[in-house]
Amino acid sequence: MKISIQTRITKNDLLVLPFYEGKSPKPTQDEALQNQHHPDFEGKLSEQVMIYQKDKISPRILLIGLGPQDKETTETWRRAGGSLATQLKKSIQNITIIPPKENIEFVAAFAEGLLLKHYQYEEVFTDKKRKLTKIQNLSLIIQDKKIGNALKKQLDEIITTTEAVHAVRDMVNAPSNKMSPSLLAKKAQEIAKKSRHLTCKVYGETRLKKMKMGCLIGVGQGAQEETKFIVLEHKYKSKNKKPIVLVGKGICFDAGGINIKMRELPEMKFDMAGAATILGVFQILSKYKLPLHVIGLAPCAENMLGSKAVKPGDILTAYDGTTIEIKNTDAEGRLVLADAIAYAIKNYKPSSIIDVATLTGAAITALGYDISALVSNNNDLKKALKGAAQAADEKIWELPLDADYKDKIKGQIADLDNYSAEVSAGTIMGGAFLEHFTKQTPWAHIDMGGSAWAKEEKPHIPKGATGRMVRTLWKFLKNS
């Protein structure tokens, strides 16, 4: 797709005019548009009216509402832009947009909303008619040259980040037989090949046993698919002496193990969304020479019910030697993350660790499907992540890591229990378990139990995998 900044309207398939609620259209240099209006159009947020005209330059004009101007935010502009995606047909490949104001952040958000929403998983479609029409050209009419140049630079980055979000959605939407731990590892290796500043190592079960990654091996031992541990590294003139480590849970299918899940099994292919998020961030890093040292870790397995599967009451030994009694085999995500965090501490001595995971259903009970939970042991890291999430309009909410909860993870016959049913605070307890392995290193845990998967369409997110947290983590790294 080509994005261009222009000062005059050129031939297009669709001319888009975003308007504020109750405001008159912005005057333009094109006389045919100066009095463009529709009696039924009020300008409410994401409201749309299509006008067809016999015009060789713009055969269609779409009026899109931005809502009240005094309540505008990047999020309202992004939602309005997302609503534009619903209008794209086979005959619409060249789009021109005339924004009502030349504000870089707002106009960029509008374009980003369009690109984020214009997606569907279609890798296994055989009918080409079901595939989305690709946007060939997107033009924005901007009169101020300085603003236009700055906007073009920002839009180029938005294309890169949106492509990464789409790649993550493809990985998460893919059925587990097309996104196994081995196939996910292959994706990571392909990403690393895109830049000489990236490297990728993949450890299989034989090596993992020698490394004594007891939790990761234990979770995957009931599956036929081989467990993998992905290690990605970005290093370019790094200003940080100690690396930032990003960790993502990669359970490519979660049947629950012996504690089998009783519902929504078809969706359990999405339990590797954390690992996919890490790969998405590294896809962005492959395009930019960011002066940082960043490590990405993705412990990948399938949590199945084979004859060799770990059983409730079994004891596993983590990478750092911690013994864990398995009280619930469906609390497996924290086990694989524990090994990865312990590996990061021992091998990299990082400045900070951020893990992202579809860890608990309790996150849905607490925050629903649009907000990710945040648990952390460091105020500065929390502040930086909250700022990045706000800039990306990807909502996160902090939950307390209380000392009383941390005491509840202690086991009776092992160092820790992986599940404490009597406590109920499932999301916090998952975070408390992981915090044990951080050894006081600044750490943050983002639980995407609800936010990684959309059960229904959102303003700029299609149904299915959301790709959330890719843009947040990218903004965090850029500001680090």
Give the separation between CA 431 and CA 450, rounded to whole angstroms.
16
**pLDDT, tens digit (0-9, with 9 covering 90-100), for 29-60:** 444 454 555 677 889 999 999 988 888 899 99
Count CB-CB contacts under 10 A for residue 294: 26
**For the residues of 128-165, what is the DSSP string, one character each?**
GGGSPPPP-EEEEE---HHHHHHHHHHHHHHHHHHHHH
222's tokens: 């009931």
Q: Considering Cα of 450, then 274, then 478, then 103, what sign does the dihedral take?
A: negative
Residues 6+ apart with CB under 8 A from 393: 74, 75, 78, 109
Q: Percent of the chain scored above 90 by pLDDT?
A: 87
Contacts with 205 (C-beta within 8 Å, 6 or more apart), sequence order = 217, 220, 226, 227
pLDDT given for residue 28 in this prediction: 45
Comparing C-alpha atoms, which of 218, 163, 152 is closest to residue 194?
163
Mean pLDDT of successive 10-residue stretches along the chain, which has 480 residues: 93 94 59 58 91 88 94 96 90 93 96 96 90 91 96 96 98 97 98 97 98 98 98 93 97 97 91 98 97 98 96 98 98 98 98 98 96 98 98 96 93 96 93 97 98 93 97 97
Structural domains in the chain plus CATH codes = 2-168 (3.40.220.10), 174-478 (3.40.630.10)
SS3 52: strand
Would you state the structure tokens that stand for residue 258, as one six-digit string? 């012996």
DSSP 308: T
Residues with active-site annotation: 261, 334
328 alpha-carbon distance from chain centroid = 28
pLDDT number for residue 12: 95
- Per DSSP, the chain holds a count of helices (H) and strands (E) of 13, 20
